[in-house]
Chains A and B, each alone.
Chain A
């Protein structure tokens, strides 16, 4: 939603300060495809945007595995730490006693593009969304929001945004809500990490500025080879 080529170039410009992040070529294609278990046919089936929209229209929510739930989670990370598994479309919030709250997420079409350790640098309720120039050039409809679309139910950032920082710098990546809740579980956005508005509000209420965020590496797209 927010991560765009120009913004990414800006991020690359900060690479000396981004020592904790592990980048690789964004151009490398990702082939991962979400699958979900269909209890009716007892088979794993592709979870395509079409299937996701159909499921959401029928059930009013995402499939079971992408719904917010407490799961066992043995980790050395402290409670309050966020671990993002983009491959499997989960965000874990570490809780005491080796448990975590697991939320379903949507990620970018090309995966997340990097892995590493960042932190929540800023938090905002009903954030303003500003379409980037590339989008305005491509989609004249978005031009009316060139100076920022106020927060609200139609705002693509949804109900809450948590801004991911590297040190004291905004990384341009965010964990945010969405006005398209059916996209949870998919690789469909332009980037960032989206949760449905209820989940992002729940997460927002449980974390604080400064929380450690670990973004797991997404397979082949992040490795340049020997």
Chain B
């Protein structure tokens, strides 16, 4: 192993001499959410222990990590979300050609969710059911006759779209749309479940809430671009009236992104990053272990590596 590692390092250093990639360390960005943190640590450990590459973990915001890859300061982003960051990722990968995107994506979801107990208590099946005042009233927690629904945190780009969806479906007339931090919204779900009260809320996945509670995604017509026109608040003051979205969200996803210079400077690293394939189940389990079980991300990464040695072996061939 030591000889193999030594040979690998020699080849990296030789390649690095003719390449702008830093020979001393591959810098891995660590965004501020649990699954990305665990993935960053997995990449860190695999590069260190399997490929013999020195690494550095650097905690940064997701946008900063991408722009630092563009500047050559960071080499790896463990979890770039699409379509959220697609404009920036396209600019760096296609126009500037400094960013490579893994061909492998993890499917993500955005829906309106309820607990299974809620479905049984209220009979709700579809998002459009919320338009009925008698259905909406079953989600009334403050006695004003209208239901309440969490549509996301105030700073999220999805929250604006959820307002558009509520307006297009019409349940902004029957439900009070609540914006609040995710911690508060999830605690509200926990409290509703504990007390046996119906609750309906915006949900995205992979997310540990699907492990914590028995969650049902409400039905919607399939995504239809012809029925999905988004004008943002920043674009137009009359954004809500000019927008329309009364179908399900388009498919979302996330993937690993890395500096294109790795492809020539450290092809084994680029190859591994392009082959690493996490499933939604992997990601949910990581999020659950960190958030619910309170384990440090580095420990979750080590456990995951120990349990998935065969998969890692395939990716590092």
Contacts and interface: CB of A to CB of B under 8 A. Distances in A.
B142 A220 contact: yes
B106 to A, nearest CB: 21
Contact of A71 (B194, B197, B212, B291): B194
Nearest to A222: B178
A219 B181 contact: no
A219 B177 contact: no
Nearest to A30: B142
Nearest to B143: A32
Contacts of B140: 219
Given A73-B190, A76-B292, A226-B163, A87 B142 contact: yes
B194 A87 contact: no
Nearest to A32: B143
Contacts of A116: 180-181, 184
Contacts of A87: 141-142
A74 B190 contact: yes
A100 B190 CA distance: 11
A226 B167 contact: yes
Nearest to B293: A76
B148 interface: yes
A85 B179 CA distance: 16
Interface string A43-80: 00000000000000000000000000001111111100
Contacts of B186: 75-76
B194 A22 contact: no
Contacts of A215: 184
Contact of A214 (B143, B187, B240): B187
Nearest to B145: A31
Nearest to A65: B195
A76 B186 CA distance: 8
A33 to B, nearest CB: 6
Contacts of B166: 226
A50 B44 CA distance: 64
Contacts of B176: 219-220, 223
A72 B196 CA distance: 11
Contact of A31 (B144, B163, B181, B194): B144
Given A20-B181, A71-B194, A221-B142, A78 B187 contact: no
Q: How large is the interface on A (under 10, 10 to 19, 20 to 34, 35 or more residues)?
A: 35 or more
Contacts of B255: none
A136 interface: no
Contacts of B240: 226
B294 to A, nearest CB: 6
Nearest to A71: B194
Contacts of B142: 30-32, 87, 111, 218-221
Interface residues of B, number: 37
Interface string B152-193: 001000000001001100001000111111011011101101
B178 A78 contact: no
Nearest to A35: B143
Contacts of A30: 142-144
B227 interface: no
Given A30-B142, A83-B187, A216-B188, A73 B180 contact: no
Given A117-B183, A226-B172, A33 B190 contact: no
B154 A22 contact: yes
Nearest to B141: A87
Contact of B146 (A71, A77, A115, A220): A220
B195 A88 contact: yes
B144 A32 contact: yes
B291 A83 contact: no
Contacts of B294: 78
B66 to A, nearest CB: 24
A72 B140 CA distance: 23
Contacts of A75: 186-187, 190, 212
A219 B190 contact: no
Contact of A220 (B148, B179, B292): B148
Contacts of B154: 22
Nearest to B186: A76
Contacts of B242: none
B77 interface: no
A217 interface: yes
B244 interface: no
A218 B144 CA distance: 11
Nearest to A224: B179
21 contacts: A30-B142, A71-B194, A73-B191, A74-B193, A74-B213, A78-B294, A85-B191, A88-B195, A90-B195, A92-B191, A116-B184, A117-B181, A117-B183, A117-B184, A216-B191, A217-B180, A219-B142, A220-B142, A220-B144, A220-B146, A223-B176
Interface of A: 20, 22, 30-33, 71-78, 83, 85, 87-88, 90, 92, 100, 102, 111, 115-117, 214-223, 226
Given A76-B186, A76-B208, A90-B191, 10 more contacts: A22-B179, A71-B195, A73-B190, A83-B190, A87-B141, A219-B144, A221-B142, A223-B177, A226-B166, A226-B167
